[in-house]
Amino acid sequence: MASPTTTADAAIPQAKGADDNYLTHDKGFASWAFTLDHKRIGVMYLASVLTAFALGGFFALAVRTELWSPGKTIMEHDTYNQMFTLHGAIMVFLVIIPGIPAALGNIILPLQLGAKDVAFPKLNLASYYLWVIGCLCMLTSLVTNAVDTGWTFYAPYSTTTQTNVIPAAFGAFILGFSSIFTGLNFIVTIHKLRPPGMTFFRMPLFVWALYSTALIQVLATPVIGITLLMMMVERVFGLGIFDPSLGGDPVLFQHFFWFYSHPAVYIMIVPAFGVISEIIPVFSRKRLFGYQFIAISSLAIAFLGFLVWGHHMFTSGQSVLAGTIFSAITFLIAIPTAIKIFNWVSTMYKGRIHLDTPMLYALAFLWVFTIGGLTGVFLAVMGVDIHLHDTYFVVAHFHYVMMGGAITAFLGGLHYWFPKAFGKMYNERTGRLGAIIVFVGLNLTFFPQFILGSRGMPRRYYNYLPEFQGLHQLSTIGAFTLGIGFLLTAVSLARALKSGKKAPNNPWGSVTLEWTTVSPPPYYNFHTPPPVTAGPYDGYEDLVYDDKIGGYVAKKA
């Protein structure tokens, strides 16, 4: 270094030796709490999101246990209402929205792009702390008089109920800013920190997916921010925008809410598309089929996602014309989604498929997402939606997409990148067993709910007609199966962290840039900035498996 005394130079981390990596580079609490390294921030997100997931899962099991029998099983009406509200709010705002982008994306995106960090590391850290503050706000509501409005905060119930709505809504408001800043950071990173040679159409599809997601995060989240703020002010000062008893319009709240929350569905699922697009070619040892179609379809979904919010409101009394337009555009979204599924399946054709844990999750994703997607078409058909709206059919549909789609992809991605992020291999057998139990539990939990819904069982019901009990019990058994699957997976990964085998640099034979650096990556990401001369899925044939290191290395010429 020419002059190591200047401030910026001091910020340039220096390699401390062969074993130096981002996990060991600095030690101590402060080195984590004030880190600006994207990988460390990603790891903190990951730990926090998984903790929130455990909490949300606990509420889910409580809800399912209560539904074992009609009437009171273990809790009262009001407790049940609080439980399902907290389950929804935690899973949506604290887990699925930040899950893939903020946790996996933070660790992987700059590596995959060949960048040294995200564009604004301080903002990145601020996003994380906003998440923490948002989480604390939600917990405040939880331990005082937990919110019971449903995660949708529909007015005028939310402006009049006696429970502690404000901390929960304020938490969601803060989490919105966390999400906006993450999205902003990724957009700028992708535009401005691509190394030469990394053109847009050489970017891996995970980056494409996060780019589309980030656009939605930046363009949609401010609207829910202002909506929740108005709702809170209405509750405190009696503003009169939403509450009809003060002269407001409750349907306006729904418009505002879904203007964000429908695109938010794509914030949750599009990153999952990215993960699946990474896993399938690697484990099929074959280039992804229809790369450009998948890349563009992510953008198409992001764009169309803004124009369909009204399909949540076919029964709210909106005009027939509005309903018709929203329904038509909703159908259009089915097309890019179908394209993706066809392309993924085609990628496996004539491949050489390895059924490791990440691939099992990807196959599980294809299964559940096909069902989730097809049942979405039922809900887009207006006449049929009138019957299905606000029934368990909707609950089953969005759990197949959110839980079955986003969470399986998240777990698949976690297993795929785990060796890279932590430098340890997990036990393949417990990994696969976990994936299979999760898959079985998922279908057992949510498939009966389709039948419940189409037979007329409304959602958010504490009590139900005795005729529905059998299917409810099946669903509850499934939920506990799911719980066992997650627990097994958690134990498996925790053991790997503690005593896993050292991971090779490239265990799966991937060709994207994150696998060209060591595992775990050095503080500075790359000892040698990687050259980019080809597309993201080229060159599987140039790698050979080395039994000694248990991973792939470049074929000797």
CB 1 within 8 A of CB 10: no
Among 128, 211, 258, 291, binds other proteins (CB under 8 A): 291
CB 388 within 8 A of CB 454: yes
Q: Which of 163, 178, 159 is nearest to 229 (CA)?
A: 159
Among 72, 144, 292, 484, binds other proteins (CB under 8 A): 292
Region near other proteins per CB under 8 A, out of 25-33, 55-63, 199-207, 351-359: 351-359
What is the nearest approach in angstroms of other proteins to the Cβ of residue 463?
A: 4
Name, in order, each residue with C-beta under 8 angstroms of 230's C-beta and a sequence gap of 6 or more. 239, 241, 242, 256
What is the nearest approach in angstroms of other proteins to the Cβ of residue 50?
A: 27
Query: Which residues, 495 to 554, sit near other proteins by CB under 8 A?
Result: 509, 524, 527-529, 531-533, 540-541, 544-545, 547
227 contacts other proteins (rule: CB under 8 A): yes
188 contacts other proteins (rule: CB under 8 A): yes
What is the nearest approach in angstroms of other proteins to the Cβ of residue 530?
A: 8
106 contacts other proteins (rule: CB under 8 A): no
Residue 321, Cβ density class (10 Å: 0-12 exposed, 13-18 middle, ≥19 buried): exposed
Query: Which residues, 294 to 313, sit near other proteins by CB under 8 A?
Result: none
Residue ranges of alpha helices (H) inside 144-244 are 157-160, 165-192, 205-237
115 contacts other proteins (rule: CB under 8 A): yes
Q: Which is nearer to other proteins, 54 or 318 (CB)?
A: 318
Size of the site for other proteins (CB under 8 A): 155
Among 65, 140, 161, 430, binds other proteins (CB under 8 A): 161
Q: Which is nearer to other proteins, 492 or 525 (CB)?
A: 525
Q: Which is nearer to other proteins, 54 or 79 (CB)?
A: 79
462 contacts other proteins (rule: CB under 8 A): yes
Look up residue 348 and give its amino acid.
M
Region near other proteins per CB under 8 A, out of 191-199, 266-274, 437-445, 478-486: 191-199
428 contacts other proteins (rule: CB under 8 A): no
- Mark 16-55 with x for binding to other proteins (rule: CB under 8 A) and - for no binding: ----------------------------------------
* End-to-end CA separation in angstroms for the chain: 36
CA-CA distances (angstroms) from residue 225 to 92, 187, 232, 253, 257? 15, 20, 11, 12, 10
Residue 557, Cβ density class (10 Å: 0-12 exposed, 13-18 middle, ≥19 buried): exposed
What is the nearest approach in angstroms of other proteins to the Cβ of residue 256?
A: 6
What is the nearest approach in angstroms of other proteins to the Cβ of residue 178?
A: 13
Q: Which is nearer to other proteins, 1 or 143 (CB)?
A: 1
341 contacts other proteins (rule: CB under 8 A): yes
Q: How many CB atoms lie within 10 A of CB 281?
A: 25
Name, in order, each residue with C-beta under 8 angstroms of 274's C-beta and a sequence gap of 6 or more. 100, 204, 205, 206, 207, 208, 209, 210, 298
Q: Which is nearer to other proteins, 17 or 28 (CB)?
A: 17
Among 21, 81, 408, 445, binds other proteins (CB under 8 A): 81
Region near other proteins per CB under 8 A, out of 199-207, 285-293, 396-404, 441-449: 285-293
Residue ranges of alpha helices (H) inside 193-319 are 205-237, 250-284, 291-304
142 contacts other proteins (rule: CB under 8 A): no
Name, in order, each residue with C-beta under 8 angstroms of 335's C-beta and a sequence gap of 6 or more. none
Q: Which of 356, 350, 347, 397 is nearest to 375 (CA)?
A: 397
Tell me how many degrees the CA angle 338-344-345 measures, rounded to the nearest 5.
95
325 contacts other proteins (rule: CB under 8 A): no
Among 54, 61, 132, 290, binds other proteins (CB under 8 A): 290
Among 54, 75, 193, 474, binds other proteins (CB under 8 A): 193
Among 46, 166, 180, 264, binds other proteins (CB under 8 A): 180
Q: How many CB atoms lie within 10 A of CB 27?
A: 9
355 contacts other proteins (rule: CB under 8 A): yes
Give the orientation angle of helix 357-380 with respect to helix 428-454, to 10 degrees.
10
Give the H or E element holding residue 391: none
- State how far Cα 504 lies from the chain centre: 27
Q: Which is nearer to other proteins, 3 or 498 (CB)?
A: 3
68 contacts other proteins (rule: CB under 8 A): no
Query: Which residues, 246 to 275, sit near other proteins by CB under 8 A?
Result: 246-252, 256
CA gap 288, 109 in Å, rounded: 19
Region near other proteins per CB under 8 A, out of 398-406, 414-422, 431-439, 449-457: 449-457
CA-CA distances (angstroms) from residue 469 to 58, 69, 87, 400, 458? 22, 6, 22, 21, 14
Classify residue 539 as left (phi > 0), alpha (psi -120 to 50) or beta: left
CA gap 51, 137 in Å, rounded: 16
324 contacts other proteins (rule: CB under 8 A): yes
Q: Which is nearer to other proteins, 4 or 28 (CB)?
A: 4
Q: Which is nearer to other proteins, 50 or 278 (CB)?
A: 278
Residue 520: asked if its preceding bond is cis (omega within 30°), the reply is yes
Region near other proteins per CB under 8 A, out of 213-221, 266-274, 420-428, 490-498: 213-221
What six digits make up the tokens of 433?
Answer: 């067993």
218 contacts other proteins (rule: CB under 8 A): yes
DSSP state, residue 13: -
